[in-house]
Structure 1
Amino acid sequence: MNEQHDAGEACEPEFSAGHPARPDADLAGARGGHTHDHGLQGAGSATAKHRRKLVLVLAITLTVFVVQLIGAFVSNSLSLLADAGHMLTDATGVAIALIASLIAGVAATSKRTFGYLRVEVLAALVNGIVLGVIAVVILVQAISRFGSEVEVQSVPMLVAAVIGAVANLASLLILRSGQKESLNVRGAYLEVLGDLLGSVAVIIAGVIILFTGWNAVDQIASILIAVLIFPRAISLLSDVVDVLLEASPKNIDVDVARAHMEAVPGVDEVHDLHAWTITSGVPAFSAHVTVSDSAWSERGYHAILDEVRACLHEHFDTEHVTLQLEPRSHETSGEHVHA
């Protein structure tokens, strides 16, 4: 869904020219001879769409990691070593995302009906945890250095930091378009962004050491890098937890979706309504739809089903939809357990 819609906004009573009735396979057996494919077989995940970009970023990140690691040992800079460690974390995260996107493409089976799409989410979980651990380690090392005399060579420190900053900026531009579609691409994007800010902090620290000889600024820059990393780890983990807990996607307001569906002529009530995310870019939606007996007999459930599905697709950009239609006279007694 590109924008939130007013709950009172009704769906069009019939298909518009831009949304004609389609003999979708998703009609769940409503018409004889149709398959029951809900769009998951062969459907590429959001990460898979940007696989080439991730490969390019991985190559850049590994190269810069080696440069910064050498620079850190030559210059004796903790902040540069911290930035190099963060680069290694970035490379690991991108590698995990790439491997996960390949595994996620494995076809679904009778035992794993959604295939391995959730592997990408688990990869993002590992990435977020590692990112948080790195932040804590950097912080502890920086604090332990205070009070000790550590000489930092500013020139090699600056050279390595500038190379890292340029490479990170290039990686950001590569990942920019994909970070809104995939958790793993977003994770890589946020890590590279943090690396860029970290490289800037190292550059500033190097310039200060070069002109003033105040080596303690190196530890301060290290702490700043840790502070930059940690909130991003929390943000990524928060998104992953939402997916694993099957929270409603951020772009779908369930109450608004119910209002749209109930605005379809013939629909009396929508209950047991659920919206969740299978993996990045693959939302899912299910609901029980109660139809008036007169509409059931006059319009037929095929037309109503098509119309409700078109409504969800138009307003909420949801393809994987499972709907159970039932006439009012068939409704069982008792309260609905779900929303």
Structure 2
Amino acid sequence: MSAGHGAADVTADGAGHGHGHGHAVSVDADRKLLSGALALIVGFMIAEVIVGLAAGSLALVTDAAHMLTDAIAIALALLAIRLAAKPPRGGFTYGFKRVEILSAQANGITLLLLAVYFVYEAVNRLIHPPEVKGALVLITGLVGIVVNLLATWLISKANRSSLNVEGAFQHILNDLFAFIATALAGLVVLLTGFTRADAIAAFVVAVLMLKAGIGLVRESGRIFLEAAPTAIDPQALGAELCALDGVVEVHDLHVWQITSGEPAASAHVLVAEGLDCHQIRIRIEQVLAERHHLTHSTLQVDHASEGRVEEHCSDAHGEVHRSVTTVAPGPDPTSPAH
């Protein structure tokens, strides 16, 4: 008969207080940085739409539309930061932390949709090139480079470990590339009259948007599917825990991310008869925190009945990890005297 010791959810030092995820000062700084970038983007976007239509430039209109998505991306990021700061309540036991991941996924999807549209438009303009006013395109592109350099610099100083902030940053960074391509296209049109350069610039930017969009959708999708963080291999982690003295079996091992930079783990651990379950649990928590930065762990630790390890949990989720050798009852392996 197993000795149930319940579940534990504490930090490696055994304290039951919060895990220190995020700080108000950092959040306030991120809000100010994102707000400054938003003001720059919106102001220039309005001017670019006017100039783009006057110049007949697809590259400028492409940039303006991309800047609109930049503004929406930053606004979503700001909203997500505000919601994520709300404390858990009611049925939302993690609070609204994953709103940030929703924002990042929305940013990725808009990048993909816009990229597809601009590829289509660029191909049409390569086949039937319209008249493009190179001087207006060049001047606007150069001003856009300056504006986006400032916006990129502002957001780069925010917490980019957040997928939400990274999504907004990718939008702005791609827009910077877009303006560089636009300025080059304007220069080519101005010097050579080769109007297809405008469509080629739009095509190049669309490819960059596809790359960034795929990355954001992939990473946000992994979090929604509760996949393990890319830096952690659950199979290797299970084997590592089973190698600890006194651990006989680890099953129902789950590793996931609550939101960006907040990994969590849970597991059912069986230890040899006669050993102190609580001390072994503390040792496991130390390993998770110190080696894998998993400070949010929930562990159920029980004794394994001799000769009946395989029967303990017949419907375990995922792989069952077992120690190579079963540790016989003896002194507590975590005690100083060991």
Change (3 A) 1:56 1:263: farther
Report the counterpart of residue 66 of structure 1 in structure 2: 46
CA distance in 2, matches of 1:265, 1:38: 29
2:286 partner letter? A
Report the counterpart of residue 24 of structure 1 in structure 2: 15
Cα deviation 1:127-179 (Å, max 9, x = unaligned) = 22211121122222223334546222222211111111122222333333556
Segments of structure 2 that go 5 or more residues without pairing to the other structure are 1-10, 320-338
Q: 2:267 matched to 1:287?
A: yes
214, 219, 229: which one pairs with 1:234?
214
**How many residues in Structure 1 have an aligned counterpart in Structure 2?**
305
Report the counterpart of residue 326 of structure 1 in structure 2: 302
CA distance in 2, matches of 1:231, 1:43: 32
2:216 partner letter? L
CA distance in 1, matches of 2:186, 2:23: 48
1:318 partner letter? L
Q: How does 1:1-339 map to 2 (within 5 A)?
A: 22-25=13-16, 39=19, 50-148=30-128, 150-176=130-156, 178=158, 180-296=160-276, 301-329=277-305, 332=312, 334=314, 336-339=316-319
The answer to whether the 8 Å contact 1:47/1:184 transfers is no
Change (3 A) 1:327 1:70: same
The TM-score normalised by the length of structure 2 is 0.82
Q: What displacement does 1:49 show?
A: 6.8
3-state SS of paired residue (1:329): coil
1:122 partner letter? L
CA distance in 2, matches of 1:252, 1:70: 50
CA distance in 2, matches of 1:89, 1:156: 23
Q: What displacement does 1:235 show?
A: 1.3
CA distance in 1, matches of 2:140, 2:151: 17
1:317 partner letter? H
Change (3 A) 1:230 1:333: closer
CA distance in 2, matches of 1:211, 1:277: 53
Cα deviation 1:274-305 (Å, max 9, x = unaligned) = 00111112111101111111222xxxx33222
CA distance in 2, matches of 1:261, 1:95: 43
The TM-score normalised by the length of structure 1 is 0.82
Change (3 A) 1:132 1:149: closer
Report the counterpart of residue 31 of structure 1 in structure 2: none
The answer to whether the 8 Å contact 2:12/2:289 transfers is no
Report the counterpart of residue 7 of structure 2 in structure 1: none
3-state SS of paired residue (1:207): helix
> How many percent identity over aligned positions?
35
The answer to whether the 8 Å contact 2:12/2:285 transfers is no
CA distance in 1, matches of 2:129, 2:170: 34
